[in-house]
Structure 1
Amino acid sequence: MKRIKIYHALRVKLGIIAIVLIALPVIAISITYSRTVKEIIKNKYTDTAIQSVFETGDKIDFILQDIEEFSTVIISNTNLLEMLKNESEYGYDDFKNTLRGFITSRDDIEVIDLVMQGRKYSIGATKITSAYSIQKALMDSSGQPVWLPTKKENIEILSGIFDKYYFTLARRIIDFNTLDDYGYLMINMEEVILEQAYKSLIDDENVELFICDKNGVIISHPDKSKIGTTIRYKRYANEVLTSKDNNSYVQYKDKIDKVAIYSTIDSNGWKIIKTISTGYLYEEINNIQKYFLLGGFLYGIVIILFMIFFSIRYTEPMMKMKKVINKVEQGDLTVRTEVHSNDEIGQLGDSLNNMISEMEVLINKLVKEEQAKKEVELEALHAQINPHFLYNTLNTIKWMAKIQGNKSVSRAITALIKLLRISTNLGRDMITLEEEIDYVKNYIVIQKLRFNEAINLNYNIDSDCLGLTVPKLFLQPIVENSIIYGIGDENNELNIEIKAFTRGEDLIIEITDDGPGIEDEILEKIFKSQTDRNKFSKVGLNNVNQRIKLYCGSDYGLQIETKVGAGTLVRVRLNVKDVKYS
């Protein structure tokens, strides 16, 4: 039976139908619904995150505006302006005392510097060095506040020197009545003030939050080593720094998908930026989606298994019938299908059983007819051998009588009687290999008398082969063939060996002689159904070959290997299954 490819199987087709009509739509709807819900929730989460950054930006903007207003209070102070107009009348301590009055009212201001015409007055923390070029930063200023980038300063506290990061508000001191320019005012605040304002937004180690100026220079960062560096190389930097939106977000990829949420501080245009991976930002959404997809997947699996179960349930009877048909194809007509069903499949099973029963009856009838034909053929073949062999034997006795005395004739007649006892026993078609060997031995006795002991026969028979039953009179024609072609009319000495052994399920018997071999023309005619009145061997080998094929099948019989001048090997192959133990 032709093997069905797996993708043509009925069960597979039913499974595909289930997937296409049920599972795929369910999965598609689940994915579409999940993505829609995720997009909605994602937008809500993003809006919430933007709002929190925006509120933090407002908070920082309030701090910066407060400092700007405080600077306005200082530069518009009448007492300070009077001292600046008449600077030569006041000493260093006078300026420090005036500035101290301002700084003591604020906890968030670390240092106030007053710089004018090369002289500098400072109150608050003691800075060892100054990192600013005031004139350059305020060159284009007309009195409005200027926010300078955060710098690291060396501060002397008690007997030690410490590093601190300050962001600075600087502005020119101008008398708005006279427009006289008196110098510069710098208010220094510790960068920690800014960090404390946004620190609450850092809720995971993968979150980065910082403040940068318009040029992308970082003003405040939890990692102080990044203060003063630029974000220009970041993938989101250009879009954030050039955006006209005060509050928004940018999605980008930096090994993993990330979002940069930003808000602009109105006071000075600084940006507060929060970068976070989308995996963390949408962690809860992703979990919901996973559970939703898992539920849809499990539902699809259940549907598929349900369909597979029913496909197996309804195709199992057909699979049983298919197995029965396979066995029938192999020749087993005793099998029957067991399909118990009240539908069309049950009727099909009953019809199959009836058909096999009819086939069995017909084949048994044909087997009996064929067996009868074989018996007739075997009887005809036996009848063909016996008269011809008797002729040859009597012819041998004639030659012995001419050459020798009565003893040789007696021995020859005794051997002939033994031979005739087996060959004329038509009631037995099978004899043991041991009996067949005895038959050959008696035959050789006669042939030795004929050829003056010029024949030497050796036996190499496995002991476990002697009890096997074989077709009667199959060795003698082969040995006779060896003698006829081995000695001929020259009466040369001839050595013959008979070897028997089993190979798997086969019985192999090899008859080897050291005669001159058989010419190709004669070898081609040996298995042809032609008679030769002069030499019976050709008829005998053909007879043996046909009988073996009738007993064992067309794959068994004789095989001849010969070479002129190098002898002949005849190999007999019988099926052990068809040979029985006596």
Structure 2
Amino acid sequence: MNRDSLRPISLRSKVIITAVLCLLIPAASALSLSSYWTQNVLKRQAIDNAEASMDVVHQYVLTLIQNMIYISNKIQFDPEINSILLQNKAFEKSKSQQRDPQIWMGERKIGQFLDNLLMDDSLYITLLLEDGTSMTNYAYKSMNPSRYLDEAWFPKLNELTALETFWVGAHRMYMQGRPHSLTIARAIKGPFDKPYAYLIISLPEEKVRKVLQTYDSNQQIMIVDSGGLILSHNDSSKIGTALAYDESELYVSSKALSFGGWQIVSLVPYNHITRFITQLFRSIGIFQLILFSLFVILIVYMMDRFTKPVLKLARLASKIDSGNLEFRSHIKGRDEVGILGTSFDSMLSRIQVMIRQIETEQNLKRQMELEMLQAQLQPHFLFNILNSIRINSMSQGHDETAGLLLSLSSFLRMTINRNNEWVRLEEELETMTHYVKLMNFRHRETIRFEMYCSSDSSVFKVPRLLLQPIVENAILHGLEHTGGTITVSCWVEEEHLIVAVKDSGKGMPREEVEQLQSGLADGKHKPHAGIGLTNVYDRMRLSYGTDCGINIESTVGFGTTIRLSMPISGGGEFDVQADARRG
């Protein structure tokens, strides 16, 4: 598609788009930042809540297990119970023998001790004797304790010391309605190497599960043993299974218990943590979308009213572009558009007046051009007359007058000639020689003009009449029409052309030199001599840029030296033809 065929976007559309973007970008940025910060805060809060829940469960389970250990210690180290158990070991007899009443009374006493140890059924305590006799705090009809003898872990109790505890973990209970328990076991040995009794304490898993189920259903809290096997879970179907989870979808935290290698593990889905945040910002987004739509409708309506005068001016400008300046907008008002319409109408009126003036000036300009063409013959006529007078003076023996006419003609030619703003340095010095001769004749002075220039410096070009203001200052203000010497030295130094103009005049005090030098630096000229130096410096800056400079040195009674520094690669250029002639 041709780009020229595309319709340009109107000012009203640009204003509306800009206003919408100015609202949309900050709103979107603020929403994104607030979403990010709020999400982090709420996520951190949800994580803290999950960890707080785990801390409560940890403390609860720790209390239960510590209670189990406390009861096991109390039973194992009770002197009366150990005495009865040892007495039972001492009166061992065959199965055909009748049980001794004393043994029966001891077992009954242990049973009563176990019944009185707990006020509820929170723990199931079992004492298994070496001969298979059992004493419990529960009825045999609920669970037969002899079934512990068939467990795979039971033979390991014989390997324990008297102070060790075997952490059975999640154990299947043999009673209806209570399928699992958290069980610990000990071997009661006393002074013997072989146990003479076994202590088994079981905590129904359902008591722990009830606590786990009081928290958020989306949070999984469980007890896991050292092998990663789940001992208790708020979902009973997962008890006895291995712990497995996807870290990319779940936030995992754990806290170790101080026994058996068990730990409390909490799993919370990330989508559950951010669920509330997502809902919150969905509502905020819908609300902002409604407000944004209302704003767009309002801005379009207001911009249509505000830009109508501007569109009228644009149509007027299109008509004027065709060349007809008679149309006017007639837009009034105190606002910017009204002022613009009034100014536009006034401008059209002034343009019509200016066009008539320009037509008149063009006619006058044509007449002046004819006069200027005629005036171009006058300088040539003047130089020819001066040359004729000089030749006549020489023929009559007036050599001094002829020399003055030659100097005047050369200086006038350099002054009037506008064809070339750059001259060779040797031509500039020759012009200054003529200028000094004319000044000597005018003021009847005896001023010596000396030049010391290296051969490689005189071939470079410099701005025409660059040295004239400096030489004039030296004559008028340095020598003060009393005669003296003006010396010009030229050389090349570090890719710069150096021109030093020194006079043997009265000089200047240091304060005046500093004031004059600072005036050149800040562009403020000083009276008298300062004006000429400022003009020279301004021409140098225009010709060479910033890589040039003027340095002033003066001593009272010994004269003043003006040193010009100009880059060789600047406005001045090397004169190849002149250099070839010198070679």
The TM-score normalised by the length of structure 2 is 0.45
The structure that is strand-richer by fraction is: 1
The TM-score normalised by the length of structure 1 is 0.45
